[in-house]
Structure 1
Amino acid sequence: MPDPAADGPDPGKGRRGRPAQSRAATEQLLVDAAVDLLRERGVLDGMNLREIADLADVHRALVYHYFGSRQELLRAAAKREIARPRDEVPGEADMDTAEWLTTSLGASLRYREAIRLIVLLVLDHDRTVRTLTTRRATMGRLDPEPAVDDPAALYAVYASMSYGFGLLSERFADELGIEPEDLEHRFLDVASRMFAAVATDTP
């Protein structure tokens, strides 16, 4: 199979032969372009590396030179989004289980780009991407809790809600005729009551 970069421009040069930026800066441009296309088109539009390179104004050969495949580029984008610092929640340590899960669920919805990227990679049969990105922190909180009968199943429910609503909330709001922010507020209210039903430490 021919190397897509073999006959392409010098990786040390940018488009139209101008000096290229550093590898890290170029990779960042490509990751940003991939996320922008994902945001604009959704997870199944079939974005390709040429479009990503063109949007980033980077030689197409560099996409293959640095990442090798669309999956590798999307994996890098997902890793970046997952690694974004999470906002600290005041009073988190004093929350009961239901309140903590609800607060954490609401916070997870601020990382919709990570959700979309992970779903896209799963649909692309990437067996290396982690879907339970907060497993250590969440299970560390739930496992010692005598108030939760089945921490693993509860976490799976929590993660399913995060992925499902994070991916489809705008479509849900449109079909239900509800403003997205109002639906999110109501979604979290119902989630709170569901969590309270399985957490006996909730007042």
Structure 2
Amino acid sequence: MPDQPAAAPAKRRRRTRQETESDLLDAALHLLERDGALAGITLREVAKEAGVNHGQIYQYFGDRRTLLRAAIGRLIDTSELGARSHWDQSFVERRRTMLRYALEHTQLLRMEALLVLDGDPELSLFPELDRTKEALQRDRASGELPEDADGLAMHAMTAATYLGYAIFRETIARELGLELEELDQRAFAVYDLMLEGLVRHPRTDEERQPAPPGE
């Protein structure tokens, strides 16, 4: 019986641009999770991990900064904060929410820190700044914040607090000899004190006067 001709291999379906970009972002996030944000991934490594021709990754993302910004956007879009709004909360509750969010998304924050250290001029830490400004105006109008409160500076300094804490907390816990859970509990308590101090209305001139001797 004559040999049957070998069946031709099935053609692999070409991925769409959207599918290719998604695969590349998944590969980048996998490498960052595996090797750490400071390991220094390259576009060629990401393309190889995704099974994509390395020329395509340059076509889609251009450089490593663009790829990392896109990966950050992917994490934000798929996170709980991206799925629901926290803008209806008060100033204090919004900042508490962001601290919790930061502790749950340290990989994202490390990627942002990597871009900051790399001097990326296009990184945005506050992509919804207009909504932030609107919320701060509402806080002042409702009395949540004093009328003369520097809302943007409050926003910036509380952000610096939760971003820095989330990135360095493991090292801090090790040096202080504390379990992470205990450090987090104590850090949240201090953070609440900071927030209470920010929303407290300033004292009047009479309240600032020192008490008379003997009182």
In the TM superposition, residue 129 of structure 1 has moved relative to its aligned partner by 1.5
Render the CA deviation track for 1:27-74: whole Å, top value 9, x for unaligned: 112112212222233332221112212222322222123222212211
CA distance in structure 2 between the aligned counterparts of 1:96 and 1:76, rounded to whole angstroms: 30
Identity of matched residues, %: 33
Unaligned runs of 5+ in 1: 1-16
- For the 8 Å contact 2:98–2:162, the answer to whether it is kept is no
**In the alignment, does 2:45 pair up with 1:51?**
yes
18, 25, 30: which one aligns with 2:19: 25
- Structure-to-structure mapping, 1:1-203, within 5 angstroms: 18-84=12-78, 85-86=80-81, 88=84, 93=88, 97-144=91-138, 145=140, 146=143, 147-148=145-146, 149-200=149-200
Distance in 2 between residues matched to 1:22 and 1:67, nearest whole Å: 15
Q: Which has the larger radius of gyration?
A: 2
Is the contact made by 2:43 and 2:57 (CA closer than 8 Å) also made in structure 1?
yes
**Distance across 1 between alignment mates of 2:182 and 2:127:** 27
For the Cα contact (< 8 Å) 1:30–1:56, is it kept in 2?
yes
C-alpha displacement at 1:158, in angstroms? 1.4
Is contact 2:72-2:112 (8 Å) kept?
yes
Query: What's the TM-score once normalised by structure 2's chain length?
Result: 0.72
Contact 1:82 1:133 in 2 (8 A): no
Residues 106-133 of structure 1 show CA distances to partners (whole Å, capped at 9, x for unaligned) of 2343233332222222222221111123
Question: Could you report, residue by residue, the CA deviation over 1:145-198 in whole angstroms, capped at 9, with x for unpaired residues?
Answer: 242422111111111022212222222223333232332232222111111012
- Show the counterpart of 2:205: none
Distance verdict in 2 for CA 1:152–1:62, change over 3 Å:
same
C-alpha change, 1:74 and 1:133, in structure 2 (3 Å) is same
TM-score by length of 1: 0.75
Partners of 1:104 and 1:44 in 2: how far apart? 24
User: Measured at CA, do residues 56 and 177 of structure 1 come closer, stay the same or move farther in structure 2, by a change above 3 Å?
Assistant: farther
CA-atom RMSD in angstroms: 2.7
Question: What number of residue pairs does the alignment pair up?
Answer: 183
